Structure 1
């Protein structure tokens, strides 16, 4: 059903565009030989009157083939200009109208859909701040996030960004992306002590706050979280299949341990209330998806992203300036052992332990080298969350200092798999369909650290659709010969041999590797330590690496609230429907034009990675299916309208072969008052055709790369 809807949506935006060309061609008296949806070999066709209507093999677009039109995408040749029904015989005015017919139909149809949806209730993710990241990574350091510097709070409703009205979360993200080299200002609606007021941010006069660029995805960020829906989207029992009474997708939580959840609470607020029960048994009152009411008791495992399924040591990867942790003496690279004597079982478990203390002083015990110092500190309040100012990640590279127990106190998954303290994790393998993490492990051996610079971290993760990141080739391999000419010979656990070029790393690191690496060493990965970051090398392992297919031993249940949440927007006044439709159409065109140059800019100049933001036909088709399946028909129609507006813009670009390029030719001919030479037009059309094909292949490559990765 959803695949059919996706096909219909994709086909509609193409068909309405071609129908615009078709309609104006008929009005101009031009003979239309073929109306095709798709390119390439024809799968089905039927002739009605003088026109053949067809469906072709490649659903990448469509075309209207007119008598006399020269277009390499359609396999046409130049016709006789003396034929009165030839496209070439039409006046320049009619040619312009025929060319504009497609984009006009896209614009009008999209606008009508948007107006209708606005009156019905435009599906929009509310512009509500679900959470604030106190810090972001910038230039290899933890710095206060732009959201914190702005003064944003959890629950704020963003009304304006840089003077532009925002009604949805997507509008916030677009404004941040476009204005990422400008100071950010906001106007938010905030409730304080039962009173609602609008506040301009930043509140400090003259303060300038800029977005940060994600070091991995090269996308602008200010450190805010998207709101989730109030219903459960995914439920997973860590030790196997769900039991009959367990919560299910589409259920709503009405009360937590007897405390009612406020009406209108969204997923992020409910999840914040559940945080105090991470790893503990909690009673939930549920409104089932079928309308019934129920009460169940589960051991709460957080959300699937908390990674509580497998107990792995939690490691401090960064400490925020002037935070409780920094003042107490906690360092990056510390391994978290216990909070008030209770073992830390994972990064997510540690977050829950801190939140349960509710600001009371806690005793944190860590492993630092061979020592286990303790620190006394009190967590600070951060938008309803308790934090000590550390960034915590899973320990996934190097010798295990200890094996965390399961949530119920029994031996954890690592111990159940036969691991011992002092054994090394060599490589984390992404989970398969069951989403369970897998590792390569080594028994015994010593650990050697080679310092890495910020440049090295970026070089290790540098990736695009044409190359694998260096980290994916360098981590988890054994050295077979010493480093020579900045190259090293390696072999992986499957006996695949490789020659790895290290030239992308800094001079200091290459020198360190030449001095440190020896045949037989294994490279386990990169991790934080007290002085920065380091490449972890395991030397002298007593056996070949073995795969750990870890099985959860806890009976806890992970809950995730639906990320696809687009409730209908209620108009403040009937005229707002036209403002929403007009604004959506204008922003799709103008904002896209402003984004295009950012694809060619450097990261320092606010550049955006095209591989993270562009989508081709496969990606668009997937969006249609996801929208219809996960969000609803209204959201599906909105996407149809937005894709139609995108098609309007793309076809007006001055690229030979598309409508904008042909209009440019007409304009030139009108100025010079004679036709352009046929050879020049043909060369330009074929060059434009090659460019469009190259762009299509590039975006399809991005789509496939995303599916694979």
Structure 2
């Protein structure tokens, strides 16, 4: 079945690629002598008109033969006018580039077949606007809905996110619909940050500090002597609603809780909470437990409650646990250690971070650096600060294709539960599908060009180079995932074909274009010896690349069978000693005095 899915995936792409060459050549009256799917001996062939159509043994590509390609072939005077060489430079380039161009167009149709089935999307409504980030500074708030950016209508949150990501440091003029206030104008300049592009590579992106998901009102308490703690509230509780003055107010997001506090009447209240069950939900970070009601005398009994997303819910086997960060602790600050800075100089910052996204942003920017992480443990008074110079663990594993994957891990989860707004119907599904298909193809193409460049420069592991074995594995995996996943993989392979064929390597389409341009500059054709030399050099390079990819594929296959496990590369006490650090302790450094915190 793997071979069958491989042929179903690859066959149409090869056929359409060669068809692009064939039709363009015919349009310019070039005589095409053969059109073949596959290489090697013919399994089937038939001649229609002046062209012989073949189905060949090796299904790893195809070719279009044109008269005049063989310098030893006798050509009549009439046919000399129908060779590729007889065309102008522009037409020759079009004939050769037509195959890759078709491979760029095919994904648009494939993605269109998916997007046309989408009838609902998530609106461009802000679930969370992070304090201090560009959107917040510009005046955007949770609940705002983006209507347009620079005059372009915005239909979905994905569309808005994509615009922001592509615009680091650029001013964006927004029209925003705010509940109760109508349409307002804002100007947001996304901050330059790092993140993953369409193909998963780290690159420079814009960030406005907005999330589709809104933060649910899960809470945390650091002061065990606070009024809220004495009233019965505990870290991890999820507030679902408050009854005051005989009226029940349901609460879905944290801003709704803050808004309630701002206008809440005086007097007794009933607060309904879902207790944390002690088990962690992989998707939300918070599992639902029993619903309880807590009676309080007034707003004063809510003092001491903080947003739960900065409170640790669970620690695994990573650096967080080894350095003494415990469930219930509140993350306070994080920064990269400066060059030459000693561990003893790692002290909590004066100002606390305000969101987990802010914490994660610093992590993403400094995954290979040693980080000064500070936290507060629950205590009477809530002033037991800790601090440690921590380096993230490296988690290594292999994916379904046997490719090595690597990520950096601090080893903790927090009491952060997210929710999102309801989906809205797509307006003009045809227009939406066409636009999204073109944009998706463009974004993936840009990402793949970057990936090729990263491999050339060594920034990306060259083990990612694969051969037909990897394509076959991808075809089988995609088929198992369903039709829409299969056509998305087909689109990715098609884009790969287009880009690889345009590389300026002799024997590839890009190599032919390069030679055409060289000949145009020289104003004469290259000699047969020079053509033969560069052709053999290009062929040798391609063969070496194929062998390298095949070797990588075999390594992946055997690794997938024998080493499909996750490996954590930890930083040990001996390493810490070598870096003039204290060995990793059983607990964290002791409580740091608040005076020391305020002074830094």
TM-score by length of 2: 0.49
Where is the helix percentage greater, Structure 1 or Structure 2? 2
TM-score by length of 1: 0.43
